[in-house]
């Protein structure tokens, strides 16, 4: 019997500068589904003074040839101005923000607060039996914090997805 084959894949962070027009997000997200590419995270926000340009950051994974195709297919869309593969370009910064709600009392509550301090998470809401932490960092760091909180009464997690930028003085 025939089996479906799996291919080796790598993680890439892409930033896409686009015209801020109706349907652009659907166009880009839809391109990924239509061609069978993966989206691990996607963030989008207006970045220009006159609200005409948005920047989208997509974290994706796939074999190198597929990553190259994703880049080319995105470039082909008329409202897309620029696509930068941060992973390909080299030294870059990746940051993600998370809100993490933890409920508990006694030792668990104290431990949660102590760990939050270690991770430089900020308390943005509290009750006598809960905290909401705000945490910024690489996706890995957030993963680790969330997994620690799981033992201490994790209630809810919200994450923004990654935004990224090249290091150095130049625009990518």
Partner 1 sequence: MSEERSGAVILVESLARQGVEFVFGYPGGAVLPIYDALFNDARIRHILVRHEAGAAHAAEGYARSTGKPGVVLVTSGPGATNAVTGIADAFMDSIPLVVITGQVPTGLIGSDAFQEADTIGITRHCTKHNYLVKDPAELAGIIDEAFRIATTGRPGPVVIDIPKDVQIASAQWNGAPPQKESRYNPQTRGSDKDIARAIELLANARAPIFYTGGGVINSGPHAADLLRQLQELTGAPVTSTLMGLGAFPADHADWLGMLGMHGTYESNMAMNQADLVVCIGARFDDRVTGRLDAFSPHSTKIHIDIDRSSINKTVTVDLPIIGDCGEVLEQLIAAWGNRKPQNLSDWKARIDGWRTRKSLAYPRDPQAIMPQLAIERLFELTKHLDPVISTEVGQHQMWAAQHFHFFGPNKWLTSGGLGTMGYGLPAAIGAQLGNPDSLVIDIAGDASIQMNIQELGTATQYRLPVKVFILNNEWMGMVRQWQELTYESRYSESYSDSLPDFVRLAEAYGWKGIRIEDESQLDAGIQAMIDHPGPVIVDCLVAKEANCFPMIPSGAAHTDMILYGDSVAGTMDDEAKALV
**CB 23, min distance to partner 1, A:** 6
Question: Measured at the alpha carbon of residue 23, what is the angle toward residues 43 and 78, in degrees to the nearest 5?
Answer: 95
End-to-end CA distance of the chain: 48
10 is an interface residue for partner 1 by CB under 8 A: no
27 is an interface residue for partner 1 by CB under 8 A: yes
Neighbours of 83 (CB within 10 A): 20
22 is an interface residue for partner 1 by CB under 8 A: yes
Q: Which of 7, 23, 51, 107 binds partner 1 (CB under 8 A)?
A: 23
Look at residues 45, 31, 41 and name the one whose alpha carbon lies nearest to residue 11.
41
Sign of the C-alpha dihedral computed for residues 15, 20, 24 and 25 taken in this order: positive
Tell me the DSSP string of 15-61: EEEEE--TTHHHHHHHHHHHTT---SEEEEEE-STTS-EEEEEEEEE
6 is an interface residue for partner 1 by CB under 8 A: no
Q: 79 or 161, CB closer to partner 1? A: 79
**CB 41, min distance to partner 1, A:** 22
**CB 51, min distance to partner 1, A:** 16
**CB 34, min distance to partner 1, A:** 5
26 is an interface residue for partner 1 by CB under 8 A: yes
1 is an interface residue for partner 1 by CB under 8 A: yes
Q: Which of 69, 87, 130, 160 binds partner 1 (CB under 8 A)?
A: 69
Half-sphere exposure of 107 (CA within 13 A, CB side): 1
Footprint on residues 80-139 left by partner 1 (CB under 8 A):
81
Q: Report how many residues bind partner 1 under the rule CB under 8 A.
A: 21
* Interacting residues toward partner 1 by CB under 8 A: 1-2, 19, 22-23, 26-27, 30-31, 34, 65, 68-69, 72-73, 75-79, 81
């Amino acid at each position: 019997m025939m089996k479906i084959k799996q291919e080796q894949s790598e993680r890439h962070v892409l930033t896409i500068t686009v015209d801020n027009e109706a349907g652009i997000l659907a166009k880009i997200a839809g391109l990924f589904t239509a061609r069978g590419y993966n989206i691990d995270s996607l963030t989008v926000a207006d970045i220009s003074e006159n609200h005409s340009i948005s920047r989208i950051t997509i974290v994706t994974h796939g074999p190198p040839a597929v990553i190259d195709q994703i880049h080319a297919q995105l470039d082909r869309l008329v409202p897309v101005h620029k696509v930068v593969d941060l992973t390909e370009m080299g030294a870059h910064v990746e940051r993600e923000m998370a809100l993490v709600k933890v409920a508990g009392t006694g030792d668990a509550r104290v431990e949660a607060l102590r760990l939050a301090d270690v991770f430089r998470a900020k308390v943005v809401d509290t009750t006598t039996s809960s905290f909401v932490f705000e945490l910024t960092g690489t996706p890995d760091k957030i993963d680790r914090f969330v997994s620690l909180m799981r033992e201490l009464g994790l209630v809810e997690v919200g994450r923004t997805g990654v935004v990224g930028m090249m290091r150095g003085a130049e625009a990518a």
